[in-house]
Amino acid sequence: MVLISLAMFGSSYIYDSIGPLAKVLSDQLHYTDSDIGMLQAICGVPSIFMVLLGGIVIDRIGVKKASMIFTLICLVGVVITAVSPKLPIMLTGRFLFGLGIGSLSIASTTGISQWFSGEKLSFVFGLNLTITRLGSLTAQVSPTWAKGAYASWRTPLLIAIVFGVISVLAMAAYWVIVNRAKERYQIGLEKALDPTLKEKDPGFSRAYWLAVLLCVTFYSGIFPFQTFAQKFFVEARGTAPGQAAILVGMLTVIAMIATPLCGLLVDRIGRRALLMMFGSALLIPVYLMMVYTSIDLFIPMTLMGLSFSLVPAILWPSVMLMVPHGKLGKALGVMSMIQSAGLAGFNFLIGWANDISLASAVNPSGYNLGMWLFSATGLLGFLFAFLLRRAEMGPQGHGLEFPSGCKPVRSR
């Protein structure tokens, strides 16, 4: 679990390395917000198609081989991104990186499901997310620990290459350990599900599709915001660049600490859909608080961090309870494909909203339209979580509202 997560750590650093660079790219290379949004959004474009193929590949050749392929693709992508300041070349590198990152995430989740299930699943997945988000945090606060690197647009990208190498080395170590483990344990796609988990149907249920819709709306309110957050804090709220980096990094710090705890809670009490309703509702007011009040930014970022801890700790393990193990790679691939399409579109949309509203330091109210769009994602997420709970409380439920994902058997 640690080695799989370490590979995601490096890739998450690469993904989030653009956010702290936004102002440098604007000042030195004269990139517009639409250009910066495109650098982030284009990572999701290949994932729209690649993650489904990646899920099928994982089911066919296994986590070990597939993960190594995906980490190497990520490394090549970040190398190309750092080669030239020309936007088309940087976009090419980010596009190639996107080919690997989405499928690597699916491989990570599938790999964990091969080792853990039942009452431990959400907690262990929470630990996986904690290590993964440490990569995001390291990137988001890089203007503080690598301040001198931000004198140039290229140096932070060279640092990202180092983290790409870390991903490849972690996956190489995972390969070695899995080969040794095969001599002692029966692992891989032949592994049966925990007998306490019930396979409800051979395909994808209505509850699964509601979880997919919740996924795309929830993450559209988090990751695109992180792309522009530091620029927004500096220009609209007058925050110092270092403080802005800390505020954005705070979101990840909270999630790193709280996500495993949320997973442990859910494994014990169930109520997965109900808790995801609560987590989505937390997102609705936070963006409007930032633009319409002078409240300390620590408060809305704390609320966002709690939401970012609760929903992911429940959402992905819930899919493992809804879908038969033999189709898990495909199910996660479809879910990630739709998520990637949503993230790509929303990054484009927010960049366009900022540009058309002339958002800048001299026109901070230009950010308002984008913040309303972010709030709408929280409202939609709440709606889909509510519908998911209603579906799960019916006779076709998968046991999401019960501890360990298993309905209790009533005696007659």
pLDDT score of 53: 83
pLDDT score of 201: 43
How far apart (Å, rounded) are the C-alpha atoms in residues 20 and 26?
Answer: 11
Write out the DSSP string of 366-387: GGHHHHHHHHHHHHHHHHHHHH
Longest dimension (CA), the chain: 73
Is the Cα dihedral 383, 109, 125, 100 positive or negative? negative
pLDDT score of 378: 92
Architecture of 2-404 per CATH?
A: Up-down Bundle (1.20)
pLDDT score of 410: 41
Q: How many CA atoms lie within 13 A of 67 on its CB side?
A: 30
By three-state DSSP, how is residue 392 classified? helix
Q: Write b or e for each residue in 258-297: b if 16 or more Cβ atoms lie within 10 A of its Cβ, otherwise e.
A: bbbebbbbbbeebbbbbbbbebbbbbbebbebbbeeeeeb
Residue 193 identity (one-letter amino acid) = L
Asked if residues 273 and 382 have their Cβ atoms less than 8 Å apart, the reply is no
Chain centroid to CA 395: 31
pLDDT score of 44: 72
Per residue of the chain (412 residues), give pLDDT as tens. 889 999 999 999 999 898 888 888 888 988 888 888 888 878 877 777 777 788 888 878 888 889 999 999 999 999 999 998 899 999 999 999 988 988 898 888 888 877 776 667 788 888 888 898 888 888 978 988 888 899 999 999 999 999 999 999 999 999 888 888 776 766 543 443 333 334 444 557 888 899 999 999 999 999 888 878 888 888 888 888 888 888 887 887 888 889 899 888 888 888 888 999 999 999 999 999 998 888 889 999 999 999 999 998 889 888 888 887 667 778 888 888 888 788 878 888 888 888 898 888 888 888 889 899 999 999 999 999 999 998 888 777 777 777 765 554 443 3
Phi, psi (5° rounding) for residue 289?
Answer: -60, -35
Taking the CA atoms of residue 122, residue 123, residue 125 and residue 128 in that order, the dihedral angle to the nearest 10 degrees is 170
pLDDT score of 385: 93
Residues 6+ apart with CB under 8 A from 176: none
The pTM for the full model equals 0.73
Residues 6+ apart with CB under 8 A from 374: 221, 224, 225, 283, 287, 350
Report angle CA 193, 198, 200 to the nearest 5 degrees: 120
Write the burial class of residue 395 (CB in 10 Å: 0-12 exposed, 13-18 middle, 19+ buried): exposed
